[in-house]
A and B are shown apart, each in its own frame.
Chain A
Amino acid sequence: MLLASVHPTTTWYLLLGALLFTIGAVGLMVRRNPLVMFMCIELMLNAVNLTFVTFAKALDDIGGQAIVFFVLVVAAAEVVVGLGIIVALMRKRPGATADDISTLKG
Chain B
Amino acid sequence: MELFVFVVSAVIILTGAVGVIISRNAVHSALCLVATLFGVAVLFVAEDAHFLAAVQVIVYAGAIVVLFLFVIMLLGVDQAEDLKTEPLGGQRPAAAAAGIGLLGLALVTMFLTHRDFDTVAVGVKSSVGKLSDTGADAGIVNVRKLGEILFTDYLFAFEITSVLLVIAVVAAVVLARRAATVQVDDEETTEVSS
Query: Hey, which bits of chain A sit against chain B, CB under 8 A?
Result: 3-4, 6-8, 10-16, 18-27, 29-33, 35-36, 38-40, 42-43, 46, 49-50, 53-54, 56-63, 65-66, 68-70, 72-81, 83-88, 90-91, 94-95, 97
Please, how many angstroms separate the alpha-carbon atoms of A19 and B99 in the complex? 10
B14 lies within 8 A of A13 (CB): no
Please, how many angstroms separate the alpha-carbon atoms of A95 and B79 in the complex? 10
A3 lies within 8 A of B171 (CB): no
A12 lies within 8 A of B99 (CB): no
Looking at the assembled complex, report how far the CB atom of A38 sits from the nearest CB atom of chain B, in whole angstroms: 7
* 25 chain-A/chain-B pairs, Cβ below 8 angstroms: A8-B46, A10-B117, A15-B110, A23-B18, A25-B98, A25-B102, A33-B26, A33-B81, A39-B20, A39-B29, A46-B37, A46-B40, A53-B43, A59-B125, A60-B132, A62-B149, A68-B52, A73-B165, A75-B64, A80-B171, A84-B172, A85-B175, A87-B75, A94-B76, A97-B87
Contact residues in A for B68 (Cβ distance below 8 Å): 35, 38-39, 79, 83
B149 lies within 8 A of A35 (CB): no
Please, how many angstroms separate the alpha-carbon atoms of A7 and B1 in the complex? 9
Q: Which residue of B lies closest to A88 (CB)?
A: B175
A63 lies within 8 A of B129 (CB): yes
Q: Which residue of B lies closest to A86 (CB)?
A: B71
A35 lies within 8 A of B71 (CB): yes
A50 lies within 8 A of B95 (CB): no
- Chain B interface residue count, Cβ-Cβ cutoff 8 angstroms: 83
- Which DSSP category, helix, strand, loop or mixed, fits chain B's interface? helix
A79 lies within 8 A of B67 (CB): yes
Looking at the assembled complex, report how far the CB atom of A14 sits from the nearest CB atom of chain B, in whole angstroms: 5
Q: Which residue of B lies closest to A18 (CB)?
A: B106
B2 lies within 8 A of A57 (CB): no
Contact residues in B for A18 (Cβ distance below 8 Å): 103, 106-107, 110
B91 lies within 8 A of A29 (CB): yes
Looking at the assembled complex, report how far the CB atom of B181 sits from the nearest CB atom of chain A, in whole angstroms: 13
Given known pairs A60-B131, A62-B149, the reply for A23 and B14 (CB within 8 Å) is yes
Looking at the assembled complex, report how far the CB atom of A13 sits from the nearest CB atom of chain B, in whole angstroms: 7
Q: Which residue of B lies closest to A26 (CB)?
A: B99
